[in-house]
Structure 1
């Protein structure tokens, strides 16, 4: 199963990125790299090693990789700005330390486009001097579209990777993107999936870290942004994380199914600045499990570049993808289904019998990122897409935001809907079918396709209700005869409604404005058109 030509639907990248300095506390940065390399090679697994510039110019790291890494290991670049890189590119250093993790110092968005190009040239040429070729993979917590396009146009990189969705963690917000798997970014926005081959950078960007598909989305906010519930082996909170063997096995089960809309994916690994002691137990457990799963034929472990080449061979534009977590490792009765395609993403949540669509974000390759030409002014960087419903950002102490199916009696009063079970069918290429079995034996059918989300009920007098709280993140909303018009961050967009009566604004918001929209079905089927 090591062949890069495999048609197995589940792909894993082991990506360990390597920093050359950790200013916050003394730590051995070389030991984790030695141990990680020995671990993956002991199990005969392929892996990708992404060098930050300060590690690239230290012989201790490059000599280790030259000496110990076998031919199945990929060496690439982790693009964060450090003092020696900036200064070699002729850019005055503004950081507090030789590596400063604040967004306007460490990341490409903190620099003018021409400065980004100069640093990329230095990094790529010094990498070539060290390894005899240009890197094929360049990763970062986030890369702007100008730099991604430059790396493709001038160096023909084949793959990139960026951070999971998160709100404000370490000052970085990436919100509303492909929840997992990979996408081709827009030429105007490195976080936004493009809709057309002409409008995309032909470098697949893989989402890192492995977000919990149930709990990460609305993870609690604190002084450092959202908490982290991911596959990273250093995390083991009460809601889950990669340091908990039971959670890891559940995560693998829900991500690496034999049936997929396109393919399943996860990134395994850890940055060396956490130190070997913190990551050791969790990483050893995950790598051993990966080796066993690959031997069973359940997944294929590839380098990031191999996955990038496979993706480009398979998909001329971004494919649809899904994650179906129909079990809850905490046994609290929650189920979560994510569906993504190049036009939108959607998340359906069953919260102990209460059904809601808690998230829909539209994708538009013409929505320009904030940093395409401008410079991020401070530590709080922000990437986003176009919200249709966003429970995590639109809920308040009174209202849990979301789109919920509703039934009505003959007098028009709302009747309760309680979910008993959810079945999924991912056998139709690019589409996801859901059967929602209710406690009273009725059934709601939901089909997700590139065009939108369709609903079909086997009872009369039903509809959808979109609710939101009194929160500052709301876009402008305006009702139309057969749709809803939005404007967010100055960008207009709309969704269409088919098989419904004209939408009705629900009133009662804290500011005297509407706090929701009701869509009454005109028959047995109703569709939200999202492309």
Structure 2
């Protein structure tokens, strides 16, 4: 043998020796035993360490390492700590970790409220971290990890529970270096825990948005490995009941089917010895609180089977941390593809095949958030579902023939990618905002102070709107009143897009007693641009209207008083005007706040009422054209003014009343000072009034009945309500004076309340009273435009002081918004005149005064933005799963939807951000599905004068009845095509009873179609 041949043989020997690592397959078994203490055990149960000793016996005998995941009550006592300290000294290959079930003691130690009530100690909202708010989860984790380290001297690398949410997993990975997370394998209906759509029993790196979805990019990857508890039989384990889910590697599961270790060996082969895969891994083990009499020695036989494979060189025993270390080193980017019998899994999809047919298909999107990622699960059950393209457990007829090559491109081509529904086009929005900024910069470049004010003012006015309607990891968020008012407008817009005046939330009726001019405008824009009403309403229209309000205010004041300084200040007050509520809040609570302490919303909230904002734009255009008309009263000017003032009533009825009333004041003034102009002004009033009548009366025949005479309701309730000013002593005194007949004191108390109401709401805009002698004698003739504006001020002040609205008493406060707007213009002129008339001698004084005005004006805007509209957590939301359902419903043929009546008790059940069905009665199903609903949004039905209570009673009867004939007749007579139910809502009648079929289902929503 030559030297070259010897060298070749030596090289071949070492190459073959390492071939297993290069081409072969590493297979691992991980023994994990969760250990519960006795905190939640029934009286008389064995001491928790007895079960541990039973688990230890075969492990000691076969010298198999194990992971012991300890619940808080298993190591927060002397017995547990001593036992497990000794155990890891004697069994140095073993690993200690944390079993993250929450117990009352742990919650108490973390100062977190433990959910009360429910049925079992193992209700999902009690024992899983997802039952708590994110900030509560971190407190619970910090306490349990801190105590673990205190008792054992180190932080654990491995944790487990039947469910650990992605938020908590990422937190533990980043803060405590956790590398392994054990969760329960796929099951549809076992123990009230639905975990459906993850990989079939194989470890992977999870997405930071969803523990059941493998990460597809590094930025969204949690650097920890998911292990599966109770891996299921790849064939028999797929199904909708506990029967299927108990075909698993768990001894207590398969024994119930009369199976034994032979079956277990078969599952070992499926998971560990499939040559198509790069590796194999299987987690086995038992909880310490099992029924050991029923188990017998089956666990011992499982360990024996594992030991035999280890001895044969086919298998390695590894703890969770050891396997995680191996996995993270070998696959440091993403998880490799894997096959288990008929299951094919990649980071992009999961396919279940059976005899050439696809029985299950999930196309993954790593940004699809899991249920309750950032919200607390209020239910005793768990519903974790990855969206599906095919799910034969839910829909048996959804099976497809697999007559094509299974790969990502082919699957997406045939079934589509998994897009997050209603997600906006960020590139489009960026283009819009950038273009708006550039255009403003170009046109206002010669007036830097004006440019800065327009940009900042428009941004501030827009911020309360633009965050709403976007999709976040917790769902579609809604800040402020957008969770009710915003979705109502969307429902209207979707109907008006079809040029229909049908009531979107009260099927079978026409829209009445509501001004829909703004909604019609957005509907037209949506038709013309093909942009979604959602994007137009929340992201585009607000900025455009904010810019126009500022620019038109500036243009009107310049045209009127010929002072750019006054125009700048008028625009400042229009953008930033606020109340003195922040002072009240500062003295009462030590912090800023109190935008509506005196009842009225302030400038910062202008755009959360889009019809009001649009009415200001039209009103300002009307005022600008009115100035032109006064100078040159031609027919063209008359028509334009009449149209602008006339259509206001259909945009915002309050603005229409003010405009017509102000024209009447102008007409009255012309009789005294401008008789020569009487004919022109009378024509203007008559034309505007006729247009108002024509476009208003057909839709508002009963509008007059909505107003209720109730003098000084706002000042009185301002004193009496704790969420307003809450000056209870003054309110008590006022009532006492009235009842005792002390009329002078009563008048003084009423007067004081009225003064507080007016001046408290105005804030720094109170300086507007110094305009043109409003507080004193005027030495000049009142101009025509002043007659109009003074009339507008008087009407907008007097109306809310005399009237409230039926249904929602406080709705007439919207008259007062216009009072604040006009006073902002007057205030701007006053301050501007101070700058204009003061000489150099007073420049410093005027500058300081202006700075003080700005400082005193801004707190309302700053605080309202900071506390109400900029926080990451919205008050209300529509979950991703509901968005998925509503998007599905939107694609169905037109038909009336029956929804469950709003349940007021649910508001307390959920924490923020609350789902809209628990937040407030609203029109969200109609708004997002673009269909009419049978009865929805009781608040607006009350405001618009519909008799909704009898219909609600019928709906309640339908969901409770067992009368098949009545139920079917109810659906047919009311032409109901769809029934929409969320988790916790149900009907007593079966689908067969009403001639219905299920057409959609996920973890939160079920939709039925009535045939």
Both proteins in one fold, TM over 0.5 = yes
Aligned twin of 2:351: 346
Q: Does 1:52 align with 2:445?
A: no
Residue 115 of structure 2 contacts residue 125 of structure 2 at CA under 8 Å; is this kept in 1?
Answer: no
Partner of 1:402: 399
1:186 matched to 2:579: no
Residue 55 of structure 2 is aligned to residue 36 of structure 1? yes
Find the counterpart in structure 2 of residue 490 from structure 1.
883
2:340 to 289, 301, 323: 323
Q: How does 1:87-486 map to 2 (within 5 A)?
A: 87-95=108-116, 100-218=121-239, 220=241, 227-236=245-254, 244-257=260-273, 259-315=275-331, 316-324=333-341, 337-350=342-355, 355-395=356-396, 400-404=397-401, 447-452=405-410
SS of equivalent residue, structure 1 residue 162: strand
- For the 8 Å contact 1:31–1:276, the answer to whether it is kept is no
**In the alignment, is the contact (CA less than 8 A) between 2:125 and 2:380 conserved in 1?**
yes
Q: Give the whole-Å Cα distance in 2 for the aligned partners of 1:214 and 1:258.
A: 15
Shift, 1:122, TM fit: 0.6
Structure number with larger C-alpha Rg: 2
Decide which structure has greater strand share: 1
Q: Which segments of 5 or more consecutive residues in structure 2 lack a partner in the other structure? A: 1-20, 422-879, 889-994, 1001-1011
Is residue 82–residue 99 contact of structure 1 (8 Å, CA) maintained in 2?
no
Question: Cα gap change, 1:145/1:157 in structure 2, threshold over 3 Å: closer, same or farther?
Answer: same
Cα distance in 2 for residues equivalent to 1:141 and 1:513:
29
Evaluate the alpha carbon distance shift between residue 240 and residue 310 of structure 1 in structure 2; reply closer, same or farther with a 3 A threshold: farther
Alignment correspondent of 1:23: 41
Q: Is the 8 A contact 2:371 2:881 kept in 1?
A: no
Are the structure 2 counterparts of residues 207 and 236 from structure 1 closer, same or farther at C-alpha, using a change threshold of 3 Å?
Answer: closer
Q: What is the alpha-carbon distance in structure 2 between the residues aligned to residue 180 and residue 160 of structure 1?
A: 13
What is the CA–CA distance in structure 1 between the aligned matches of 2:43 and 2:410, rounded to whole Å? Answer: 49
Contact kept in structure 2, 1:165 and 1:176, CA below 8 Å: yes
Distance in 1 (CA, whole Å) between partners of 2:999 and 2:145 is 53
SS in 2 for 1:217: coil
**Which digits, 9 at most, give the CA deviation of each residue in 1:472-507, with x for residues without a partner?**
xxx99xxxxxxxxxx96424999xxxxxxxxxxxxx
- Contact map agreement 1:361 1:386 (CA 8 A) in 2: yes
For residues 421-466 of structure 1, what are the alpha-carbon distances to aligned partners after superposition, in whole Å with 9 as ceiling and x for unaligned?
xxxxxxxxxxxxxxxxxxxxxxx7x6444545599xxxxxxxx9x9
- Quote the offset at 1:25 in angstroms: 6.1
Return closer, same or farther for 1:343/1:240 CA change in 2, 3 Å cut-off.
farther
Which structure 1 residue ranges, 5 or more long, are not aligned? 325-336, 406-443, 456-463, 467-474, 477-486, 495-509, 516-531
d(CA) in 2 for partners of 1:132 and 1:512? 58
When residues 27 and 356 of structure 1 are mapped into structure 2, their CA distance, relative to the original with a 3 A threshold, is: same
What secondary structure, in the 3-state scheme, does the structure 1 residue paired with 2:30 have? strand
CA 1:401–1:201: 2 relative to 1, 3 Å: same
Q: CA deviation at 1:311?
A: 1.1
Higher helix share: 2
1:18, 1:33 within 8 Å by CA — same for their partners in 2? Answer: yes
Equivalent residue for 2:477?
none
- Going from structure 1 to structure 2, the CA distance change for 1:403 and 1:85 (only over 3 Å counts) comes to same
Shift of 1:31: 1.4
How far, CA to CA, are the matches of 1:270 and 1:71 in structure 2?
20
Residues of 1 paired with 2:248 and 2:997: CA distance?
Answer: 40
Name the CA distance, whole Å, in 2 between partners of 1:181 and 1:264: 8
Flag the 1:102–1:10 CA change in 2: closer, same or farther, 3 A.
same
Equivalent residue, structure 1, for 2:107: 86
**What's the offset of the Cα at 1:168?**
2.9
The answer on whether the counterparts of 1:32 and 1:275 sit within 8 Å (CA) in structure 2 is: no
TM-score (norm 1): 0.70
- Indicate how the Cα distance of structure 1 residues 289 and 95 shifts in structure 2: closer, same or farther if over 3 A, else same: farther
Contact 1:230 1:240 in 2 (8 A): no
d(CA) in 2 for partners of 1:132, 1:361: 43
Matches of 2:235 and 2:308, distance apart in 1: 26
**Structure 2 contact 25–278 (Cα < 8 Å) conserved:** no
* Partners of 2:84 and 2:390 in 1: CA distance: 47
Structure 1 CA distance, aligned partners of 2:257 and 2:399? 22
Q: CA deviation at 1:9?
A: 2.6
When residues 158 and 454 of structure 1 are mapped into structure 2, their CA distance, relative to the original with a 3 A threshold, is: closer
Q: How many residues align?
A: 405
Contact 1:192–1:364 at 8 Å: present in 2 too? yes
> Residues 16 and 271 of structure 1 are in contact (CA less than 8 Å); yes or no, is this contact kept in structure 2?
yes
Of structures 1 and 2, the one with the larger relative CO (CA 8 A, separation 6+) is 1
Q: Structure 2 vs 1, CA of residues 221 and 285 (structure 1 numbering), >3 Å: closer, same or farther?
A: closer
Distance in 2 separating the partners of 1:279 and 1:227: 18
What is the match of residue 328 of structure 1? none
Given that 2:25 and 2:275 are in contact with CA atoms closer than 8 Å, whether structure 1 keeps it comes out as no
- C-alpha separation between the residues in 2 aligned to 1:452 and 1:46? 44
Paired residue secondary structure (2:297): helix
Residue 239 (structure 1) shift:
5.1
User: 8 Å contact 2:101–2:129 — kept in the other structure?
Assistant: yes
How far apart, in 1, do the equivalents of 2:206 and 2:389 lie?
20
